[in-house]
A = this chain, B = another copy of it.
C-alpha cells in the first residue's frame, strides 16, 4: 500500500513536470515554423520511412481524422507526399519528400535548441538520470 501511495504522489509530480515542460518547449518556435504535432508526425514518418495514415495515427496516438488534418498541413507545405498503395486501393502511402527531409533536420535542431541548452547546464549525474527516465517514460507511454 505504501507502494501505491508512492506511485500516486509520483504520478502527480511527473504529470506536473511534463505538462509544464511541454508548454515550455512548445513556446520555442523557429520562425516560419512547423507546429509541435506536425514536427512529431514528420519525425515518425521519417523514422519509419513510409506509413499509411492509420499507422501514423496509431504511432502518434491520435484518431485517424486528426492525422488527416495534420498530414494535410504537411502536404500543403510540400513536406509529405501521398502515393497510392500498390495493391489495396483504399490505402495511401505517406512519405516525407526531399524537401520534407531537409526542412525537418533544420527545424528539429532549432526546436531542440532551448531544451538542449538547459540540459547542458545540468550536472552529468542529472543528465544520466534524465537519460534513464526518458527511456522509462517512452516505455510507459507505449503501454496500453
Contacts and interface: CB of A to CB of B under 8 A. Distances in A.
Contact of A130 (B4, B14, B126, B127): B14
A99 interface: no
Contacts of A138: 13, 16-17, 20-21
A112 B8 contact: yes
Interface string A7-31: 1101111111111111111010000
Interface stretch (A48-56, A68-76, A83-91, A117-125): A117-125
A115 interface: yes
Contact-residue bracket for chain A: 35 or more
Contacts of A24: 61, 140-141
Interface in A60-82: 60-62
A118 B130 contact: no
A141 to B, nearest CB: 4
Interface in A92-144: 108-109, 111-112, 115-120, 122, 126-127, 129-138, 140-143
Interface of A: 3-4, 6-8, 10-25, 27, 36, 40, 43, 60-62, 108-109, 111-112, 115-120, 122, 126-127, 129-138, 140-143
Chain A to chain B: the 9 pairs with minimum beta-carbon distance, closest first: A133-B133, A17-B137, A20-B141, A21-B141, A11-B116, A11-B115, A11-B112, A7-B119, A13-B134
